[in-house]
């Protein structure tokens, strides 16, 4: 142990210390339960980790009400927890965070801090931490008079408390500038960090998150740089698996992008993982594997050591062990779900006593067992903050390609016979299979015996299942198929068709929205133009028209065809083109008096009395935006209404399912019942 006489400020300690490895409970949100923490100690001991830093931001007496002493009941809980940590050879570090409102220069404030930590010391705790992270840097008037800088104020109080506690072997200090991003103008030139490094007692270790709050990489060079300023090696507070900043994200990827050559240059590494306890199995297990490749008792003079640490192999080992946990029924002690002993047994639950379905009855539902492949998929879908897993990237790539090449799947026969069309269908089937794997994984997870793990995961896996289901329906729409009505991409979708709520809408209005997407692609939203048709548009209009005819392959004479082909001139203001960045992608032509284009009495007079006008409309399949098509039709209906028409009809070949279903979702035109109509013809219309 470093004594007060030997440990002078500004001198790097050469005393050998055990490398701190473990977990910091330092996130914002609901703290873990006492039962979960005891389970954490058991896992840490099993995996070779040795430290737990108690620092939950939402524990009132840790941060907001730091002056308040613990009640008898709270004291009993903490004593039990500290004792449990000792039983599993885990160093329990109690952290307190007074920085929200402490007056550093007030002796009563310092006395209150000492009194609080002395109480915890009486619980059997021998290791402590003072945290000054995530606070305002402006000092009050009294502190400005007493100290030359914010750093001096923090260092003064920290040194005094350290000595008051008789210089505990482990005492951590979290600076306000705890990552390189916060240092002005740089780490070496930071006045704050230089003051801390120079004046903080050398027996006190300093927490550091790396280049950023959530650091993608932590290099040896960056640690050497900050160590020189701090005059001691830091303890890494690692936020790579933290998710308290985004309730829609969970991180199940491996501990990575931290070379094990760092270990001799650090005092320790503590992971601050997901808010949900059970999913942290992977984060903590892979950290333990990483630590196992370095020295367990690291001298501050230790030489760099290489390793064969492989994050992918570490992840496989973690998921293999986690799979066993999924198969365990909930524990019957009441604290882990409250299930009875009978419910917690390893026997397969029976759906009903002795029921055997008959030969024509539905078979009993049998849950498929969860597999290692399922957990691997789960991890790849919820990987790391700066990186998607392999399968997630592949799904995004396929969807991006399918969306960008949807024109080749636009019109049945022509598209199916082309090589591009065959490739599109092959890749659409591949994407469909990947979506099915996600749904299968969800179903298997939903039926695991260990409901406690499931409940921590459920919101996330439900969300991703919904997302891929919508993507799957979208691809079917691009391919000319009709998805389930609940999944139709309309301008009036069900609530599950749009994500994010108010927060999502705010983000979409910000200029930075999407610029940090892990998979970069052009935005799905396209710019469309509705304009009058010109003679130059005729070739593109006929191209779409002929592709549609090739798709339907039905020889049916339509009045609207004569409008499109130019045999009949549309009424004034009744020829419209829909454009996107690629050119013409739709058209609408109308004639206020359909009879003038008929060569014979094609339709009953009773129909033409109510629907005297005819409209020909076609939308290319590369247009997924139903609201755009609706605007095109409404423009045309407005022009016909201005001409005095009281109704309009449109004709469709009965096997033109894509266009027929597309228009049905718009709820603008309705199918008309027309006597004597050929079976291969469908009439839709609306009154004006």
Active site residues per annotation: 134
Report long-range pairs for 30-33 (Cβ below 8 Å, ≥24 apart): 30/58, 30/275, 31/56, 31/58, 31/59, 32/56, 32/277, 33/277, 33/335
Residue 556: phi and psi, rounded to 5, are -125, 130
Structure tokens at 512: 């930075």
Nearest to 171, CA basis, from 184, 187, 160, 180 = 160
- Token look-up 């139709």 returns 488
d(CA 186, CA 584): 54
Structure tokens at 502: 């108010």
Report long-range pairs for 97-102 (Cβ below 8 Å, ≥24 apart): 97/55, 97/57, 97/62, 97/63, 97/66, 97/130, 97/131, 97/132, 97/133, 98/66, 98/67, 98/130, 99/131, 99/132, 99/133, 99/135, 99/154, 99/176, 100/63, 100/64, 100/66, 100/135, 102/66, 102/157
Structure tokens at 245: 């900043």
- SS3 labels along 52-110: EEECCCCCCCCCCCCCCCCCHHHHHHHHHHHHHHHHCCCEEEEEECCCCCCCCCCHHHH
Residue 394 contacts by C-beta under 8 Å, 6 or more apart in sequence?
Answer: 434
Angle at 576 between CA 575 and CA 579, to 5 degrees: 150
**In this structure, are strands 205-208 and 235-238 parallel, antiparallel, or unpaired?**
parallel
Question: What is the per-residue DSSP string for 559-595?
Answer: HHHHHHHTSSPPPTT-EEEEEETTEEEEEEEEES-GG
**Number of other residues whose CB lies within 10 A of the CB of residue 596:** 12
Find the radius of gyration of the CA atoms of the chain: 34
d(CA 394, CA 438): 13
For 132-198, strand residue ranges (E) read 171-174
């Amino acid at each position: 142990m470093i004594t007060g006489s030997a440990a002078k400020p500004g001198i790097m300690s050469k005393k050998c210390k055990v490398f701190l490895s473990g977990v910091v409970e330092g996130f914002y949100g609901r703290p873990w339960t006492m039962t979960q923490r005891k389970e954490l100690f058991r896992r840490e001991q099993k995996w070779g980790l040795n430290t737990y830093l108690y620092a939950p931001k939402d524990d009132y007496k840790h941060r907001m009400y730091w002056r308040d002493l613990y009640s008898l009941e709270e004291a009993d809980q903490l004593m039990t927890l500290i004792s449990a940590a000792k039983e599993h050879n885990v160093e329990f570090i109690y952290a307190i965070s007074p920085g929200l409102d402490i007056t550093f220069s007030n002796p009563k404030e310092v006395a209150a801090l000492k009194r609080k930590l002395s109480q915890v010391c009486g619980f059997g705790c021998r290791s402590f931490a003072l945290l000054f992270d995530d606070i305002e840097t402006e000092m009050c008037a009294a502190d400005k008079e007493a100290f030359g800088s914010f750093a001096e104020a923090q260092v003064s109080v920290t040194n005094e408390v350290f000595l008051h506690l008789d210089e505990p072997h482990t005492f951590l200090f979290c600076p306000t500038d705890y990552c390189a991003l916060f240092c002005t103008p740089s780490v070496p030139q930071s006045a704050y960090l230089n003051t801390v490094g120079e004046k903080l007692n050398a027996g006190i270790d300093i927490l550091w998150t790396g280049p950023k709050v959530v650091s993608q990489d932590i290099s040896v060079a960056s640690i050497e740089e900050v160590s020189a300023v701090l005059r001691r090696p830091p303890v890494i507070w690692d936020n790579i698996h933290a998710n308290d900043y985004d309730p829609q994200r969970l991180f199940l990827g491996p501990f990575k992008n931290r070379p094990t050559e760092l270990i001799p240059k650090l005092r320790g590494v503590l992971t601050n993982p997901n808010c949900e306890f059970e999913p942290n199995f992977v984060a903590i297990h892979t950290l333990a594997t990483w630590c196992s490749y370095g020295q367990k008792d690291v001298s501050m003079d230790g030489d760099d050591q290489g390793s064969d640490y492989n994050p992918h192999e570490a992840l496989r080992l973690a998921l293999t062990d986690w799979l066993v946990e999924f198969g365990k029924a909930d524990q019957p002690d009441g604290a882990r779900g409250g299930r009875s002993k009978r419910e917690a047994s390893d026997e397969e639950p029976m759906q009903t006593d002795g029921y055997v379905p008959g030969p024509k009855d539905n078979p009993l539902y049998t849950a498929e067992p969860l597999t290692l492949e399922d957990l691997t998929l789960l991890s790849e879908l919820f990987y790391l903050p700066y990186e998607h897993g392999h399968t997630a990237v592949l799904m995004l790539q396929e969807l991006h390609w399918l969306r960008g090449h949807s024109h080749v799947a636009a019109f049945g026969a022509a598209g199916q016979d082309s090589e591009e069309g065959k490739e599109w269908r092959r890749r659409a089937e591949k994407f469909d299979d990947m979506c099915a794997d996600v749904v299968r994984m969800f179903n298997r997870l939903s039926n695991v015996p260990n409901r406690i793990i499931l409940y921590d995961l459920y919101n996330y896996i439900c969300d991703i299942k919904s997302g891929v289901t919508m993507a799957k329906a979208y691809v079917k729409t691009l391919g000319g198929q009709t998805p389930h009505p609940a999944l139709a991409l309309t301008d009036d979708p069900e609530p599950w068709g749009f994500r994010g709520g108010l927060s999502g809408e705010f983000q979409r209005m910000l200029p930075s929205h999407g610029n940090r997407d892990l998979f970069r692609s052009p935005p799905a939203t396209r710019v469309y133009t509705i304009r009058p048709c010109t003679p130059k548009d005729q070739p593109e209009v006929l191209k779409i028209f002929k592709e549609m005819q090739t798709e339907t392959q039905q020889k049916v004479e339509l009045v609207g065809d004569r409008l499109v082909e130019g045999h009949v001139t549309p009424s004034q203001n009744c020829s419209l083109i829909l454009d996107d960045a690629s050119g013409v992608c739709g058209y609408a032509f109308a004639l206020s008096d359909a009879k003038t284009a008929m060569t014979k009495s094609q339709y009953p007079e009773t129909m033409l009395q109510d629907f005297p006008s005819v409209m020909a409309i076609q939308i290319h399949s590369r247009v997924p935006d139903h609201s755009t098509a609706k605007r095109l039709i409404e423009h045309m209906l407005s022009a016909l209404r201005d001409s005095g028409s009281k109704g309009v009809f449109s004709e469709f070949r009965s096997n033109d399912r894509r266009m027929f279903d597309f228009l049905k979702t718009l709820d603008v035109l309705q199918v008309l019942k027309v006597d004597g109509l050929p079976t291969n013809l469908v009439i839709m219309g609306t009154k004006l």
